[in-house]
Structure 1
Amino acid sequence: MASQDSILILGIGNLLWADEGFGVRCVEALNAAWALPANVTVLDGGTQGLYLLPFVTEAKHLLVFDAVDYGLPPGTMKRVEGDEVPQFLGAKKMSLHQTGFQEVLASARMLDRFPESLLLVGVQPVELEDFGGSLRPEVSVKVPEAIEIALEWLSARGVTPRARQPGEKSADDSALSRVAYEQGRPDERDACRIGDVRFFPETN
C-alpha cells in the first residue's frame, strides 16, 4: 500500500551556472523517468528561497537535491540527514539560494512545521564560474545515482513509482529542459561564460 503522507522532492540551484544546476537536473531526470502518486510532489525550486516555504511546511517528508561545497573531491556524492542539513547548507555557501533555503528551513522550524524526515543528496561541484555552461561530466554522472537514492528513500516510505513508458511525456518540455538547453547553448568560443567582457580589464 502506498503511503499517503505528503512528500516533497525538491531540486534547488541555478542551472545557468554549470554544476550549480545539479539539483534542478536531478528532479528533471526523476520526473522524466518515473510517474509518482499524487501525494508526492517533484519540484524545481530553482533559486526561489522563501517562496518555497509553503511547499516545505506542507511536506511530512522532504528530499533535497543540491550542489554543496562539502570540501570534498569534485564529483563526490554525500548524503546528509535531519538536523545536520541546515548546517551543511550554511557551512560554505556557494550562492544566495543556499542562504534562502536555510531561511526556509529555519522558518519551518519556528512555525513548528518542520518535515518529519529530511534528506539532502548533494554533490561536490567541479565548476561554477561558467555562465550558460552545463554539468561537468564528474557531476553529470552522479545524477542517476542520486535518482536511485531517491527511489530507495521513497520505497522506505511506502511509495512505489511507476516507470514511464517509452514516448510517455513528463510535465517538463520547456526550453530549459536539459536536451533543449544543451542543443541551444552557444559554443563557449561564441559566448563568454565567465562574465560580461565589457568589464574585463584590458591587457596589452
Structure 2
Amino acid sequence: MTTRESPAGVLVAGVGNVFLGDDGFGVECVRRLRRFTAPQVPDGVEIADIGVRGVHLAYQLLDGYRLLVLVDAVSRGGPPGTVHLIEADTGPVEPSATPALDGHRMGPDAVLALLATLSAGTGGTPPERILVVGCEPLSLAEGMGLSAPVAAAVDGAVRLILRLLAEAEEAPAPAGARGGRSEREASSCSER
C-alpha cells in the first residue's frame, strides 16, 4: 500500500472513508500523488493510503519518521473545497487514558492522541514534525465520490504536498528536533 518498501524519513498518509463522500479526500490525494516519481517525490518519501486504518497509522508512526503529512477532510469553517495547511503541535502531550478509537472516523486528532498514548507506553518515537493538508468538506453523507468543490481542490492539494516534500528535502530537520508552529496556520488539528 506504499510506494516505498523501506522505512522512510517522510510519510504522506491519506486518511478517510471513501464511503462517506468528501471524507475520501485524503485517499484521492495520495492516489494522485502515486503518479509522481523522483524528483517530484524525493527518495525517502513513503506514500500510504491509510483509509480508515487510523490505529495502524498510529503504530506505524512510532517507527521514527522525521515528517508526517496527513491528508484528510477537515472542517475549519471555510467554504467547501478550501485547502488548509495546519502544523500540529508536536510538543509534549499528555497521553489520553482512553483515546477515542473508531475505525471508521479516526481523523487527525484521534490519530495524534493515540500516538501520544502509544509512544508514552512503548517508548516509540513519534514524528518530529506533523503537517495536515486538509480540505473543507461539502458532505460527509454516505455515498462514494467527492463533491464538485472538493474534487476541484485535489490537484491544488497535491501541488501543495509536492511543494512541502521539496521544502523538506532542501532543509531537513536536525535529528531529534521538534517542529515549531507554522506561520501559515498554527493550531492543533481540527476534526469534523
Q: Report the TM-score when normalising by structure 2.
A: 0.68
1:37 to partner: Cα distance: 4.7
Asked if 1:12 corresponds to 2:15, the answer is yes
Segments of 5+ residues of structure 2 without an aligned counterpart are 1-6, 94-98, 171-192
| Matching residue's letter, 1:19 | D
Asked if 1:147 corresponds to 2:158, the answer is yes
Moved over 6 A (4+): none
| Matching residue's letter, 2:13 | L
Partner of 1:198: none
Partner of 2:105: 96
Partner of 1:118: 130
- Which among 26, 30, 46 is matched to residue 27 of structure 1? 30
**CA–CA distance in 2 between the matches of 1:108 and 1:80?**
23
Partner of 2:175: none
- Which among 52, 60, 78 is matched to residue 72 of structure 1? 78
1:96 to partner: Cα distance: 2.2
- Which among 44, 50, 68 is matched to residue 49 of structure 2? 44
Asked if 1:158 corresponds to 2:169, the answer is yes
Deviations 1:79-101 (A, max 9, x none): 110318x9xxx9xx9x6222642
**CA–CA distance in 2 between the matches of 1:33 and 1:151?**
9
More helix by share: 1
1:23 to partner: Cα distance: 0.3
| Matching residue's letter, 2:9 | S
Partner of 1:107: 117
| Matching residue's letter, 2:50 | G
Specify the SS of the correspondent of 2:61.
Answer: helix
**CA–CA distance in 2 between the matches of 1:37 and 1:74?**
31
| Matching residue's letter, 2:165 | L
Deviations 1:17-46 (A, max 9, x none): 110100000000000233545521100011
Segments of 5+ residues of structure 1 without an aligned counterpart are 160-204
Partner of 1:61: 67
**CA–CA distance in 2 between the matches of 1:17 and 1:149?**
24
Q: Report the TM-score when normalising by structure 1.
A: 0.64
Kindly name which structure, 1 or 2, has the bigger radius of gyration based on alpha carbons.
1
Specify the SS of the correspondent of 2:163.
Answer: helix
1:108 to partner: Cα distance: 5.3
| Matching residue's letter, 2:89 | D
Q: Is the 8 A contact 1:12 1:24 kept in 2?
A: yes
Specify the SS of the correspondent of 2:35.
Answer: helix
**CA–CA distance in 2 between the matches of 1:96 and 1:147?**
23
| Matching residue's letter, 2:86 | V
1:109 to partner: Cα distance: 4.9
Specify the SS of the correspondent of 2:78.
Answer: coil
